[in-house]
Amino acid sequence: MMQRTLVLLKPDAVERALVGRILARFEAKGLRLAGLKLIQVTPALAERHYAAHRGKPFYAGLIRFITSGPVVAVCLEGRKAIESVRRITGSTDAAEAAAGSIRGDFSSSNRFNLVHASDSPESAAQELANFFAPGELVDTSRESLRWLYDLSEGDPL
């Protein structure tokens, strides 16, 4: 199924100059960019984004970290995009992340773990709305999909 998902390249990814290397992994998998922007997350946006964690012991640290520097907000589109992105990203705890995943290869921390990835279609829709205004996302051209998926028997998505 064709999906869209949000990925945030957190301040540690930006400051460590890993943005291009991380985006290249998603593109190599066949995921398409539908939105991309460099932003400074405000406390209000951070609170909306992490609302599900409000009241948890690590909440204040999440807010401090995501607002500590620039973030690259990315909308990726593709077949089973949410599942694919989460597999490429790896386990939240870098010590448990598989080699070959972004966190397994580039991170050594639980909190400084480089990326955020939506975990469900519902959270992806909400998170994309938080980070991208109407009209900021573009549609993948049907022509480009023929290089990613077998379209000989109709829509594989």
Looking at the annotation, which residues are catalytic?
A: 116
Q: 114 with 10: CB under 8 angstroms?
A: yes
DSSP-assigned beta bridge partners for residue 75: 6, 35
Angle value at C-alpha 104, between 98 and 96, nearest 5 degrees: 60
Write out the H or E segment, with its range, that includes residue 33: strand 32-40
Instruction: Give residue for tokens 């990726």.
Output: 76
Structure tokens at 78: 């593709």
3-state helix, strand, coil in the chain (%, to 5): 40, 20, 40
